[in-house]
Amino acid sequence: MQPIALFLMLISFFAPAKPATIYVYGDLNLDKIENTAPGTKYVVTGNITIREKIDNHASVLLQAGGEIHIGQKIDQHCSVTLRAGTLISIGEKIDQHCQVEMFLASGGRVYIGQKVDQHSRVWMTVPGGSIQIVQGTDQDSHVHFFCPSFRSAGPNGGSTEDSSPRPFPEMNFWRQAGPEN
């Protein structure tokens, strides 16, 4: 290999990742989301299905016109914003030290198959819908929710708080989406 090719390969390996906005018209199916730069956005007109998980230290916004399904979990130390029309489903848990914001259109549903793990912060705005956390919240985790129907197995050391709604972001697929919208 020529020295210049080796040099360019090393630079590209150590260069910081740049955020991207990915627009999909229809459904998006992925095995997992990993190695995302802060500010990465997936804007989808249909449903988003992630078969495995959102991996460690990911920073991502997922916006779907329909449903968001995460097969396993949002892994530790992630910063995630989820926006959906009808359903957000997480098969297992929100792992430790995560910050997650969820927004659903009126009448939507959030389902977390296990728990919100320790030291995580979660905000859920589900006007006119329902939230279910099967095993509750772990130690020192905090769940803030605005929803008429909230079911959880119990705090188990964490806390849940019925709070005022966070402003619902505009769901506009024709321009760049971001937490500020």
**For residue range 111-154, what is the model confidence (pLDDT) as tens digits?**
999 889 888 989 888 888 888 888 888 888 888 888 777 777 66
Query: 91 or 14: whose pLDDT is higher?
Result: 91
pTM higher than 0.85: no
**For residue range 113-124, what is the model confidence (pLDDT) as tens digits?**
988 988 898 988
- Helix (H) or strand (E) run with residue 14 in it: helix 3-14
Rg over alpha carbons for the chain, rounded to the nearest Å, is: 17
What are phi and psi for residue 10, nearest 5 degrees? -65, -40
The residue among 115, 111, 143 whose CA lies nearest residue 130 is 111
Query: 96 or 2: whose pLDDT is higher?
Result: 96
**What is the residue type of 24?**
V
**For residue range 27-50, what is the model confidence (pLDDT) as tens digits?**
999 999 888 888 889 999 999 999
**For residue range 57-92, what is the model confidence (pLDDT) as tens digits?**
888 999 999 999 999 999 999 999 999 999 999 999
